[in-house]
Homo-oligomer: A and B are copies of this chain.
Amino acid sequence: MSLVVVGTVAFDAIETPFGKTDKILGGAATFIGLAAGKLEVKTKIVSVVGGDFPQEHIDLLNRQGVDTSGIKVIPEGKTFFWSGRYHNDMNARDTLVTELNVLADFDPVLPESYKDCTFLMLGNLTPQIQKRVIEQLPVRPKLIVMDTMNFWMNTAWDDLMEVIGMVDVLTINDEEARQLSGEYSLIRAARKIIGLGPKFLVIKKGEHGALLFNKDSVFFAPALPLEEVFDPTGAGDTFAGGFIGFLAKTGDISFENMKRAIIFGSAMASFTVEKFGTEGLQALSNGELNERIRIFSEMVQFDIELD
């Protein structure tokens, strides 16, 4: 199964209590692509970068199994740049700089070789761009997963609603689920959001894990409690990449298999937060991933016999 990912490929500069980086490789599509690539899924990125984007980052993505032929290079432009500083508790951050640069006029064009994809991941971008990607596919993919954020709820409500109505799985965090639905209870929020179109909803709760909903069921996956969270940047995108990557690898989009996909996504995200940027994900081996999934399983397993 092949996976197309649309999203940012960017420079990030990050400050945490543990240190700071210069401009390093970042962006939603980068993390999603690397995570899915780890699972040996043919992953194809649609994005845009400037002339300042180094060939070594492209080479890195290619080495990790990611097809970059859909990343448009605008030689006279500059790559999207984000800079942020995390607070001591790592749960809050301040954005220091956001330079859209080439992203401001991004009009995604899918290469012909991308158009037979069976899985589509819409990374967090303007709903308009997400929609234009869906519209370029001659045959609807088996599964479309969409990530978004509160910013688009505040600035592009109607467009957002339209795209949400076109996808199969929506991934958002708990505060965004509350904002999108106007409901505080996540059970009620999920019911309303599924009423907007998606058959599945994933609510990401960071260190508190993730919830998966369909119309009838709910699944709760913990986040692995970690000794140290070094840099949370990219955790949500890694989670999404592991999630859709696992589904694309297995070709099975049942609720049961989505549970497994959530566990894979959580496990992969736990490696991302242990290092700066994409380092943790790059270095990840299959053995380490399997070991962490084993720890996950043990951590939530219990056995109760009821009368």
One of A119-127, A236-244, A277-285, A298-306 contacting the partner: A298-306
Give Cα A184 to B218, complex, Å.
Answer: 30
Binds B, one of A4-12, A41-49, A50-58, A203-211: A203-211
- With a cutoff of 8 Å between Cβ atoms, the chain B residues found around residue A187 in the complex are 225-227
Query: Which chain B residues lie closer than 8 Å to A306 at the CB level?
Result: 290, 293-294
Number of this chain's copies in the assembly equals 2
Q: Is A109 an interface residue (CB 8 A)?
A: no
Knowing A185-B229, A209-B222, A227-B185 are in contact, say whether A297-B307 is a contact too (CB < 8 A).
no
Nearest Cβ on chain B to A237's Cβ, whole angstroms: 22
Residues in B neighbouring A218, C-beta threshold 8 A: 225, 299
A300 to nearest B CB, angstroms? 5
Report the interface size for chain A: residues with CB under 8 A from the other chain.
Answer: 40
The answer to whether A300 and B219 have CB atoms under 8 Å apart is: yes
- Set of chain B residues within 8 Å of A259, measured between Cβ atoms: 302
Q: In this assembly, does A137 line the interface, its C-beta being within 8 Å of a C-beta of chain B?
A: no
Q: Does A154 contact B (CB under 8 A)?
A: no
Q: Is residue A228 within 8 Å, beta carbon to beta carbon, of the partner chain?
A: yes
Q: Is A24 an interface residue (CB 8 A)?
A: no
How far apart are the CA atoms of A225 and B88 in the complex, in Å? Answer: 29
Contact A299 B226 (CB under 8 A): no
Chain A residues numbered 241-295 whose CB sits less than 8 Å from any CB in chain B = 256, 259-260, 263, 286, 290, 293-294
Could you tell me the distance between the alpha carbons of A90 and B259 in the complex, rounded to whole angstroms?
Answer: 29
Known: A294-B306, A300-B220, A302-B260. A90 touches B184 (CB 8 A): yes
Residues of chain B within 8 A (CB-CB) of A185 are: 225-229
